[in-house]
Chain A
């Protein structure tokens, strides 16, 4: 029997049977993912190195989710979970969220212990190292733009009718880097991997495979160029002439496709 970071008893020793949290194997570092010696399950994705399955049953070669079945059950003691109580209301803790007041025990995330750094970890950096590049960083924020959608729909009539505004669109952010950032949709057949990949779902059918390119200027700024997309590109509502480089300013809004807006931010 293992005990998960949220204090649940779990028969499985890799992930909690109740809440699914990864169960620690090192008492000193209760939330750090680590390879489990008992089952040979690699902590895939964090450590990046997979141990060969030692169980009697290996379910396949894909590291992302395959795991041995029928491996020996957890033999090693899990860390004894301290009887924690909610700092806000004092109720005994049974999960990630307080059953009484709903406080998230995991918050703030900064209190989470750092992930160890064996070979090849993709530990997310908190911020770009200050001083390494004094230049301001630019970010492109992609969102679904209702006003633009309505405007396009009115203008284009028939064709616009059948494209629905997405019910849900998770905002995406891209840090601008390098000499250029292509905006488009990934195409396996054409070997096209735009840096700003707007492949859905939900997919905006009005976006071309290679729709536009953001080009880094010498002064550290960025400009947008439409190399000849099928449906055109707008900057702050004005159509970009094919082939023109339009310099961008903090807060500028690029519209493309049927409902996509990309806002650029400096700093």
Chain B
């Protein structure tokens, strides 16, 4: 393993036919298992800050167990906060207020502060509305006063964002982008998958459904453990492309599909940065990069993209690793027509996520033909790529006649929770073994 603790591998077919323009590559970024906090802050300053945001809207009382489980889950997450980390707890309704510490500061975690926080959480009651933008804004203000490198929040909600406009939420999100990351959880089935996905995508976090409130505590503790494991903050993919080339897209494709194309920040001549958030040891993610280049003559080779992994502020970014995406023009069709298995696999996984989301949308609109075709396609893709988790979720929404060809029938009655679980987890991908050669 390397000094920086990161490796960058590129998988592609670099051969293009004469006149070929499209270069596609899978970039695998891996942090080593023993990457000890290379970027931990100066001694005495906590490197991490955590905020737990709990929905305390009136609906959290129905059923009554929801708010009780949310309190228990928050306490479980607090227990996992490492000594010396800044943390606080926020409650949200149609407004937001600090629960612990009650003055809107952050506490440094130790035995007594964790106990005090747990005590404060037992007082949470549910009443009022839902305005998630306000919750996020309060978290941003609190984070802003503390110079931690790793800022992470957990957001729990059970309902739609009803008490502010989508524009207000968008505006709040824009201000939070780059300030902290946020994992979102929806409990029950009255929340909006698209809404939470927008938040988690903008804030580089995960989104999932917790169908049963009793599952919250374990999930919260796991999320907090994962957050505590993060050691390198603000890692970005810096993509350089040659003159006259077009960067068509940059997508994270594993562990989930997440299109980063619109998240580009220019970072130099012909280069732009795409945020990947914080990294823990032993993490591995795949990115799909598509570049359109100006063709050169047969036998010539050019660099289609230089992918650098950088950390820290754009002005003083540290280089963690680098990979090259190449283009070589050839008139040997055996070379140029070969499709890289990884590129094919992830193209299929992205199509799978789209097919599910479009199929569920069509089903909601009552367009059964399109829904059947799209979800059938999804079943075939899930089968073909060995994405068993997604295949199982699909089987709760459609009756599979033949998985191979994607012949399905829509189920007459589908539980809301199954439909939402499929929608929420549609972006989860599986990885394939790398080609040996």
Contact = CB atoms under 8 A, between A and B. Distances in A.
Interface of A: 12, 14-22, 31, 33, 43-46, 56-62, 64-67, 69-70, 95-97, 106-109, 111-112, 114-115, 122-126, 158-159, 161-163, 170, 172-175, 186-189, 197, 199-201, 203, 205, 209, 230
B430 interface: no
Nearest to A163: B373
B319 A69 contact: yes
Contact of A66 (B8, B297, B319): B8
Given A20-B242, A65-B11, A174 B373 contact: no
Given A59-B323, A65-B9, A65-B10, A109 B299 contact: yes
B222 interface: no
B298 A112 contact: yes
A45 B373 contact: no
Contacts of A188: 341, 432
A108 B297 CA distance: 7
B331 A19 contact: no
B74 interface: no
Interface of B: 2-4, 7-12, 14-15, 17-18, 20, 22, 25, 27, 30, 240-245, 269-270, 293-294, 296-304, 306-307, 319, 321-333, 335, 337, 339, 341, 344, 347-348, 351, 369-370, 372-374, 377, 380, 384, 386, 404-406, 432, 434
30 contacts: A16-B303, A20-B242, A20-B302, A22-B300, A22-B302, A22-B303, A31-B300, A45-B15, A45-B301, A46-B328, A56-B3, A62-B11, A65-B9, A65-B10, A65-B25, A66-B8, A107-B297, A109-B329, A111-B297, A122-B335, A123-B299, A124-B331, A158-B369, A162-B374, A173-B333, A175-B333, A197-B339, A201-B344, A205-B406, A230-B405
Contacts of B12: 64-65
A172 B334 CA distance: 10
Contacts of A114: 299
Nearest to B434: A62
Contact of A65 (B15, B324, B335, B370): B324
A3 B9 CA distance: 27
A4 B133 CA distance: 51
A95 to B, nearest CB: 7
A49 to B, nearest CB: 13
A46 B245 CA distance: 23
